[in-house]
Chain A
């Protein structure tokens, strides 16, 4: 061995400062601690994570922390404003709706279904879309790709909401139906974005290298393609999560969403629409909850995408 490893110093400079990458297998506790540290370095991601943590805790503890059951009516306290306004009461922190139900309690109880429906739908869409997108892109130009592309085109021609309406309309609204329908109709954007990635990845030398080694196609897709489409998938998933919340709200608005007595944010928001002029708080607070949650998910998604990319590690 005439030459010693080159650039030993350069490599260690890159690896040393942030702490990470000193050794890949440092025990899972160390990994968690390291991840947590990078999380705290990003204020947006930290806020996002806190908000989501709050959402999850709220969802789990809803029966215990909610001031009232969500459907409980207080006929003498109808349309009360939030407590800091004239006429508000600290008994109903965010005010009440037209039936005297506590807005805060309804938001607290709505978290659970809203997050579950949107979240599970995103997972269904992602699994479907990424699988189809990877296969379609890997065999771009083949018969499978052609079929998928036609389906994508067809889907682009019909607004998703219309499709969902038709399906729900014919099957009847329920929480499970809604989740599945949202999930099944949401694959298209995943498939499209992922396919575009795969088509360019496929031409990269490391994929050719794997082929020259004799790697089988399924292994190649799992080992070489899939990890490299994760950034795209995460970005699409965060967007899609937000879209799902909004679609769920829109469906509730049309009366085809989740049926009472189950409460969702979209449903509460929808109930407030008749009172926008007189009792704006009914629609505003669930709306705010949706906005904040979607933003939090996006912040977290950005961070996650960076963290999962080994090339980004040196930056933190």
Chain B
């Protein structure tokens, strides 16, 4: 693992800019006794995958996020992709401390968030906000739009007067493309796309540096998704925002990200720039994921030869060695015994594979 860290540091130096966020050895384990922790449920729909067939003696803990390290630089968008059980949403929750990590560090502008006392953490939260997947459940149905957007301002007492807060709310609504006339409406009166704009306005209220978009466009119709993606891009340019954009749909992640990390079973298997990921994937899982994505035109039918077999294994029976070895088309003996560390393969690309694709 030390090897991986060295490489990570070297890329840090290469880009000459201090990262906004540095994640090191971040790990989250859930104990399986008692009620299963809810927070990760969304991410584990595939957990039962093979239980019926192979009931191996399950460990009584489940490693949702397993020793991951990466950096996010100011002003960039880091895409986080993966299937159910990959731990991408859990990672986001850990960074924002909506869940407490089991071990590891998360530095935000050099300050380790995981060691901050609750009071200071609360103050720090104004710099990092979140946009949620479900525009229907992420807004309190009993609050008016104005109150929803105003809430962060009240919580952090940034604007002392009601008047000042109201003006800011109207301003924010204008910024995200909502008519200020709607300020006294309730969420149910809006369409999905508009609600997502309300959620974005709430996230913007405190002028954050980082916004985590957790499947923020996954529940939206295509044309509305395009509107929201465009809005996110526009806001990023306007306010120099940094995004962590979590998604399972590759086209949307491709569209918005500068760099992309691919996660599988709680591990980052590849992290690289957008173009290098799509043009020259190094990890067999990345390649398979790209090939599984539906084609964008019928002319491209059949161009995808490498479909993945099987499904994501259950997290509590993670295979030994490389986590992907049960489904990998190029699996070799070494993959079953030794876990590959995340290592640099080029200036930009890092992958966790013993035998990366197209690599001498």
Q: Do chains A and B touch in the complex (CB under 8 A)?
A: yes
CA distance A203 to B99 in the complex (A): 12
Q: In the complex, which residues 267-316 of chain A have their Cβ closer than 8 Å to any Cβ of chain B?
A: 309-311, 313-314
**What chain A residues lie within 8 Å of B271 (beta carbons)?**
none
A19 at the interface (CB under 8 A from B): no
Q: A1-B174, A5-B194, A208-B98 are in contact. Are A213 and B125 (CB under 8 A)?
A: yes
Is the beta-carbon distance between B155 and A215 smaller than 8 angstroms?
yes
Q: A4-B177, A208-B98, A228-B140 are in contact. Are A21 and B156 (CB under 8 A)?
A: no
Most-contacted residue by chain B among A24, A206, A215, A310 (CB, 10 A): A206
CA distance A206 to B38 in the complex (A): 15
A85 at the interface (CB under 8 A from B): no
A158 at the interface (CB under 8 A from B): no
Q: A5-B178, A212-B125 are in contact. Are A228 and B141 (CB under 8 A)?
A: yes
Is the beta-carbon distance between B184 and A212 smaller than 8 angstroms?
no
Q: In the complex, which residues 208-231 of chain A have their Cβ closer than 8 Å to any Cβ of chain B?
A: 208-216, 219, 223-224, 227-228
Chain B, Cβ-Cβ closest to A230? B142
Is the beta-carbon distance between B35 and A311 smaller than 8 angstroms?
no
Is the beta-carbon distance between B155 and A213 smaller than 8 angstroms?
yes
**What chain B residues lie within 8 Å of A3 (beta carbons)?**
177, 227
Q: In the complex, which residues 99-136 of chain A have their Cβ closer than 8 Å to any Cβ of chain B?
A: none
A15 at the interface (CB under 8 A from B): yes
A90 at the interface (CB under 8 A from B): no
Is the beta-carbon distance between B133 and A228 smaller than 8 angstroms?
no
**What chain B residues lie within 8 Å of A205 (beta carbons)?**
132-134, 137-138
CA distance A68 to B142 in the complex (A): 50
Residue-wise interface mask of A (54-94) relative to B, using a CB-CB cutoff of 8 A (1 in contact, 0 not): 00000000000000000000000000000000000000000
Give the number of residues in A that approach B within 8 Å (Cβ atoms). Answer: 40
Partner of B139, one of A206, A211, A213, A216: A206
Is the beta-carbon distance between A208 and B151 smaller than 8 angstroms?
no
Q: In the complex, which residues 142-180 of chain B have their Cβ closer than 8 Å to any Cβ of chain A?
A: 142-144, 151-152, 155-156, 174, 177-179
9-residue interface stretch from A6-14, A168-176, A177-185, A239-247? A6-14
A142 at the interface (CB under 8 A from B): no
Q: In the complex, which residues 174-208 of chain B have their Cβ closer than 8 Å to any Cβ of chain A?
A: 174, 177-179, 182, 184-186, 188-191, 193-194, 199, 202, 206
Is the beta-carbon distance between A209 and B202 smaller than 8 angstroms?
yes
B88 at the interface (CB under 8 A from A): no
Q: In the complex, which residues 138-180 of chain A have their Cβ closer than 8 Å to any Cβ of chain B?
A: 141
Is the beta-carbon distance between B122 and A216 smaller than 8 angstroms?
yes
Q: A205-B137, A212-B129, A213-B129 are in contact. Are A24 and B151 (CB under 8 A)?
A: no
**What chain B residues lie within 8 Å of A28 (beta carbons)?**
none
Is the beta-carbon distance between B122 and A6 smaller than 8 angstroms?
no
Is the beta-carbon distance between A211 and B144 smaller than 8 angstroms?
no
Q: A15-B189, A206-B140, A228-B141 are in contact. Are A211 and B98 (CB under 8 A)?
A: yes
B145: min CB distance to chain A, Å: 10
**What chain A residues lie within 8 Å of B155 (beta carbons)?**
213-216, 219
A243: min CB distance to chain B, Å: 28
**What chain B residues lie within 8 Å of A10 (beta carbons)?**
191
Q: A205-B137, A228-B141, A311-B141 are in contact. Are A14 and B227 (CB under 8 A)?
A: no
Contact sample, A vs B, 14 pairs, CB 8 Å cutoff: A4-B177, A6-B194, A11-B182, A141-B35, A208-B130, A209-B138, A212-B125, A212-B130, A213-B129, A213-B155, A214-B156, A215-B151, A215-B155, A223-B140
Given A24-B185, A205-B138; 14 other pairs, CB 8 A cutoff: A3-B177, A6-B194, A7-B191, A7-B194, A11-B189, A11-B190, A141-B35, A208-B130, A209-B202, A212-B125, A213-B129, A216-B122, A227-B140, A311-B141
A residues near B (Cβ < 8 Å) are 1-8, 10-11, 14-15, 21, 23-25, 141, 203-206, 208-216, 219, 223-224, 227-228, 309-311, 313-314
